Amino acid sequence: MEQPLLSGEFEKKKEKENLSSYQYLGRTNSVSASTQVSVQEIRSAANVSSIYPPIDESLITPQNTEEIDYYQGGVGVGHHGGNTSYEVGRPILDEVEIRELLIDYVGHRCCWGSRPARTWKICAFDDCNVYVGTLETFTEEREIIKETEPYLGGKIDGKDSGPAVGVWELDLRSEFPPLFVPHKETKTKVPHSQVIEKCSGCAGRGEIPCPACNAGEEPGFYKENQTFQCSACHGRGLIAHRDGSDTICVNCKGKGKLLCGTCGSQGLVKCKTCQGGGALLVRNDAIVRWKTLSSRKVSATSGAASVPDEVFHRAKGIQLCNTQAYQCTPAFFADSFFLNKFSSEVIADRCPVPPTARVLCERHAISVVPVTRVTMAQGNQSFSFYIIGVSREVYLMGYYPSRFCWGLCPCLDWLRL
């Protein structure tokens, strides 16, 4: 009598006996639920102090609340690359569930047949869990740009109105976004930064030489009464007819010359930069950007090495740790050298911060993504696919025996968009 391919009640009972609990040891930079501050306090600290208060988890925007599971039960001790690691205690898939997942996946592919998924034998079933580490760095960047506009008179907000304000002294609490937003940008005027300057385009005259009749002349140098030859009568003032008669040119009214159509041959036109006022109002504007810089790292066994990292980043996994601090340090697992080393590598791969920015907060997480590699065979043919994540997504990019599209499926998928 054939033994069942996947474990039953006995294996489940044995698995429960092998489970051992672990305790994540919190570090000094991790979030404490008992230390809470208000949103206003956090935003105030970002403006007036370089030492920030502790951050409350409720004030932090979750990465994706629907895709985060916290692992609170026991974990079995396994091996990952020769090092002790954590294995996921999850319900074991049976043959019926595996076939149903593959049939559903194949059913959404054009020109794929479901016969191999229904009839071929499952000959191998391997767990090759993958660890995903992330480090998110929430930064605030500020820079000053100069803005000019025509000055047409009136009071200005200059140094006489108050002391100059530095870019990092601006109070932007009303604009402060939730922590770890992907990106937000705002622009604000810097108080007491307005000055009046002479317009460089016209040297303060308000007028510039006409670009039509005084092209290339410097401000202050121009010629008046410049005229152009009439193109209708070619400067004669008369229009010749076939019968030998002449009539006065209506275009130039018999003068043979035309005034400049741009300035009326006055030689000057109003300066567009200063609107004819001769002066410009110059002020400083602050551009403030809040951005989350993300670095990710994947640690996969050889069994899952053929799967692109992007697939694991999108998959729903089980979080082993999630800490927030102003500068995260590696997580500590009491009985896993591998996870301690993996966390250190994620922290070491921190995204560079621009010199005009400062770090407000960091968030470090390590997740384990359940991955099962299934091999099906019939005769001399075989193929493999993966069941990834808690949501059990199927990934199959290699050979599948029942395809009838001769490689045209990607084209057909593109046409459907």
Q: Are 333 and 175 contacting, i.e. CB atoms less than 8 angstroms apart?
A: no
Rounded to an integer, the average pLDDT of 50-66 is: 41
pLDDT at 151 over 80: yes
Q: What percent of the chain has pLDDT over 70?
A: 74
Task: Give Cα separations from 364 to 71, 300, 368 (angstroms).
Answer: 16, 19, 14
Confidence band, pLDDT 50/70/90 cuts, at residue 295: very high
- The yes-or-no verdict on residue 67 having pLDDT over 50 is no
Would you tell me how many other CB atoms lie within 10 Å of the CB of residue 359? 15
* Confidence class for position 236, pLDDT limits 50, 70, 90: confident
Task: Inform me whether the pLDDT recorded for 49 exceeds 50.
Answer: no
The contacts found for 115-119 with CB under 8 angstroms, 24 or more apart, are: 115/402, 116/376, 116/378, 116/383, 116/400, 116/401, 116/402, 117/376, 119/378
CA dihedral sign of residues 27, 32, 35, 37: positive
Q: What is the pLDDT of residue 72?
A: 41
Task: Decide if pLDDT at 296 tops 90.
Answer: yes
Task: For residue 290, give the nearest of 116, 172, 405 by alpha carbon.
Answer: 172
Structure tokens at 4: 């069942």
Q: Give pLDDT tens digits for 255-267.
A: 888 888 888 888 8
Q: Please choose, from the candidates 311, 310, 409, 379, the residue with its C-alpha nearest in 3D space to the C-alpha of residue 106.
A: 409
Under 8 Å between Cβ of 206 and 274: yes
**For residue 41, is pLDDT > 80?**
no
Higher pLDDT, 122 or 58: 122
Q: Report which listed range, 13-22, 161-170, 239-248, is most confident.
A: 161-170
Is 7 a residue whose pLDDT tops 70?
Answer: no
pLDDT at 58 over 80: no
Show the tokens assigned to 244: 């030998």
Is pLDDT of 311 > 70?
yes
Instruction: Report strand pairing: 83-87 vs 381-388.
Output: unpaired
Task: Let me know: does 295 contact 350? Beta carbons within 8 Å.
Answer: yes
Confidence at 83, pLDDT banded by 50, 70, 90 = very low
Task: Count how many residues are written for the chain.
Answer: 417
Q: Which of 13-27, 79-93, 200-214, 282-296 shows the lowest per-residue confidence on average (mean pLDDT)? A: 13-27
**Residue 282: predicted pLDDT:** 94
Q: The tokens 């609170």 sit on which residue?
A: 72
pTM for this prediction: 0.64
- Between 55 and 190, residue with greater pLDDT: 190
Question: What is the tens place of the pLDDT at every residue in 193-218?
Answer: 999 999 988 888 888 888 888 887 77
Extended beta strands in 81-226, E state: 83-87, 121-127, 130-150, 183-189, 195-198, 207-209
User: Rounded to whole angstroms, how far apart are CA atoms 212 and 265?
Assistant: 9
pLDDT at 243: 81
Which residue would you say has higher pLDDT here, 315 or 35? 315
Q: Provide the 8-state DSSP code for 389.
A: T
Contacts of 218 (CB under 8 A, 6+ apart): 209
Q: Name residue 371's beta-bridge partners.
A: 388
Q: How far apart are CA 110 and CA 406, in angstroms?
A: 11
- Across the range 52-79, mean pLDDT stands at 40
Give the C-alpha separation, 133 to 138, whole Å: 17
pLDDT at 339: 92
Q: Has residue 71 got a pLDDT over 70?
A: no
Three-state DSSP class for residue 54:
coil
In this predicted structure, the answer to whether residue 351 has a pLDDT above a threshold of 80 is yes
Per-residue pLDDT, 43: 47
- Range of 63-67, 212-216, 219-223 with top mean pLDDT: 212-216
Q: Do 115 and 383 touch, CB atoms closer than 8 A?
A: no
pLDDT tens digit sequence for 370-395: 998 999 998 888 888 899 988 888 88
Nearest Cα to Cα of residue 134 among 396, 395, 315: 315
pLDDT of residue 353: 92
* Residue ranges with strand state E in 230-356: 238-240, 246-248, 257-259, 268-270, 279-299, 317-325
Would you state the pLDDT for residue 214?
81
Whether 24 and 331 have beta carbons less than 8 Å apart is answered as yes
Cβ atoms of residues 126 and 306 within 8 Å: no
